[in-house]
């Protein structure tokens, strides 16, 4: 007798009839729905978590690269005859020009930095001042082109640019003046007295990072040099590169050009520990959610075992009619794999919709809970991000289909090996 081709039309038909259990076999029907819902929710949770994970990492890295130097070059020159060092750069124009010519470097900007206090009326805030030229400031994406801003960055030389968190802390807006107070100010015969200068706020930016917006203030380079007693000097040179992920390939040449007593500090050095922690958390979350998918897939085994038990008489009849063990195995494999496949498709749809519409969903959750669900002072960013990536979706689909199809084989083999004589003995 000629054997039929695998997964013939009649095998799909019988499997579909078995999946649609009759009322008398309500237990099988319930287990089918439980398995379907379980796989759907597990895949949905996996895709949603991977999307949020990818979005959080992308947003965190983007705010780092969009608001900070990719590489910081500074010097610590020892003072002859003492153990002290000078951490300033005198020939910063020539050094910046030389660093800017390195292949892969987009710009090198001299910078003056200092931590001081800002005051407006009765409000005080600790701030970090960055002295920089307007041309170089315009090359910082998250400052020159932020998500939200007030005032005009083109008026930079007429005042200072402050983060939205600083403005909120001091209660100021564009056009207001704030006092900047430095404890290391004017040098007199009696010692050093605090320096207090008033500056007009000409630009307010929201970089997207809570810690940056709450502390950062940009001041014209010449004014910063005067304010911090750095006439003719800068504290460091910040370097931007074309490919931040390949920053390690550029640093040896930068260090060679910077010369003796020079040091390099990259964005990976400042945020590397956090990124490594994110990587560990990502791996752990993927393993945990993979276990959830496995548990959901195990429900398919329970449903199939019940189905095989209830369909023992049918299996015996089909075998006596000439169906091979392979056909029986494929029929019950289609039953289990069909549940897993449909659940996976529904889970992918729900997960993708969640990632695409996360903002209104999160706004609704925040509204229902009364607000305060997301604290930017703890998370660092202002909202829950999600980035849907094809490889994350494909890995979720592969995991779900792989597990649901594999676990289906065992009860299907049990049905295929059932002895038709034993199945029909008591019928």
**For every one of its 427 residues, what pLDDT tens digit does the chain have, with 9 covering 90 and above?**
445 667 667 677 777 777 765 544 545 567 778 888 888 999 999 999 888 888 888 877 787 788 888 899 998 888 777 777 788 898 889 999 999 999 989 999 999 999 999 999 889 999 999 999 999 999 888 898 887 889 999 999 999 999 999 999 999 999 999 999 988 766 666 666 788 899 999 999 988 888 888 999 999 999 999 999 888 899 999 999 988 888 888 999 999 998 888 899 988 888 777 778 878 888 888 888 888 888 888 888 777 777 777 666 766 677 667 677 777 778 878 888 888 888 999 999 999 999 888 888 877 777 777 766 565 655 556 667 788 889 889 999 999 898 888 888 888 887 777 766 565 555 5
Has this prediction a pTM greater than 0.85?
Answer: no
- pLDDT for 361 equals 81
Provide the pLDDT for residue 150.
92
Query: What local confidence, expressed as pLDDT, does residue 31 receive?
Result: 75
Structure tokens at 144: 């020159």
Q: Could you count the other beta carbons within 10 Å of the beta carbon of residue 353? A: 15
- Give 58's contacts (C-beta < 8 A, 6+ positions apart): 385, 387
CB 330 within 8 A of CB 11: yes
CA atoms of 408 and 416, how far apart (whole Å): 12
Alpha helices, DSSP H only, in 216-261?
221-227, 251-258
Question: CB of 417 within 8 A of CB of 316?
Answer: no
Residues 6+ apart with CB under 8 A from 129: 112, 113, 114, 115, 116, 180, 217, 218, 219, 224, 227, 228
- Cα–Cα distance between 206 and 150 in angstroms, integer? 9
Determine the pLDDT at residue 1. Answer: 43
Closest CA to 137 of 220, 60, 201, 65: 220
Location of structure tokens 């997207």: 208
Crossing angle for the helix pair 312-320 and 267-310, nearest 10 degrees?
A: 70
Give dist(CA 211, CA 332) in Å, integer.
Answer: 57
DSSP notation for 32-72: HHHHHHHHHHHHHHHHHHHHHHHHHHHHHHHHHHHHS-SEE
pLDDT of residue 419: 65
List, in sequence order, every residue forming a beta bridge with 86; answer none if it has no partner. 77
Q: Yes or no: say if 344 and 402 are a contact pair by the CB < 8 Å rule.
A: no
β-pairing, 160-163 vs 191-206, is: parallel
Task: Name the residue among 51, 214, 63, 215 with its Cα closest to residue 143.
Answer: 63
* 227 CB burial (10 A radius; 0-12, 13-18, 19+): buried
The C-alpha atoms of residue 259 and residue 330 are separated, in whole angstroms, by 72
Cα–Cα distance for residue pair 87/85, rounded to 1 Å = 6
Rg of the Cα atoms in the chain: 33
Predicted pLDDT at 24:
46
Specify burial of residue 20 (Cβ count, 10 A radius: 0-12, 13-18, 19+).
exposed
């Amino acid at each position: 007798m000629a054997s039929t081709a695998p997964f013939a039309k009649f095998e799909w038909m019988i499997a579909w009839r078995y999946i649609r259990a009759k009322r008398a076999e309500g237990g099988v029907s319930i287990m089918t729905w439980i398995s379907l819902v379980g796989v759907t929710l597990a895949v949905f949770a996996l895709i949603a978590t991977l999307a949020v994970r990818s979005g959080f990492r992308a947003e965190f890295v983007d705010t780092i690269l969009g608001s900070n130097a990719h590489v910081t070059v500074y010097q610590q020159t020892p003072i002859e005859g003492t153990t002290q060092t000078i951490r300033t750069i005198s020939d910063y124009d020539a050094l910046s020009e030389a660093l800017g010519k390195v292949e892969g470097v987009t710009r090198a900007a001299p910078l003056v930095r200092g931590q001081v206090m800002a005051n407006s009326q009765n409000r005080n805030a600790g701030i970090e001042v960055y002295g920089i030229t307007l041309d170089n400031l315009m090359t910082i994406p998250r400052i020159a082109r932020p998500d939200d801003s007030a005032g005009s960055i083109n008026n930079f030389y007429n005042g200072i640019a402050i983060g939205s968190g600083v403005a909120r802390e001091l209660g100021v807006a564009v056009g207001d003046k704030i006092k900047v107070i430095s404890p290391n100010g004017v040098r007199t015969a009696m010692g050093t007295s605090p320096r207090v200068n008033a500056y007009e706020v000409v630009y307010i930016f929201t970089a997207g990072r809570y810690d940056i917006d709450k502390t950062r203030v940009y001041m014209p380079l010449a004014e910063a040099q005067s304010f911090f007693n750095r006439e003719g000097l800068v504290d460091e040179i910040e370097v931007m590169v074309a490919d931040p992920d390949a920053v390690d390939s550029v640093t040896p040449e930068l260090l060679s050009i910077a010369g003796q007593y020079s040091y390099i500090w990259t964005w990976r050095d400042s945020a590397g520990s956090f990124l490594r922690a994110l990587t560990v958390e990502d791996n752990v979350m993927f393993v945990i959610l993979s276990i959830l998918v496995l548990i959901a897939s195990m429900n398919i085994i329970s449903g199939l075992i019940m189905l095989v038990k209830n369909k023992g008489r049918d299996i015996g009849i089909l075998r006596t009619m000439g169906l091979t063990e392979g056909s029986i195995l494929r029929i019950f494999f289609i039953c289990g794999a069909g549940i897993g496949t449909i659940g996976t498709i529904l889970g992918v749809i729900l997960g993708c919709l969640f990632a695409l519409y996360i903002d209104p969903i999160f706004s609704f959750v925040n509204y229902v809970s009364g607000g305060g669900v997301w604290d930017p002072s703890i998370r660092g960013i202002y909202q829950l991000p999600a980035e849907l990536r094809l490889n994350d979706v494909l890995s979720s689909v592969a995991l779900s289909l792989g597990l649901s199809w594999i676990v289906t084989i065992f009860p299907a083999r049990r049905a295929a090996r059932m002895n038709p004589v034993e199945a029909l003995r008591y019928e």
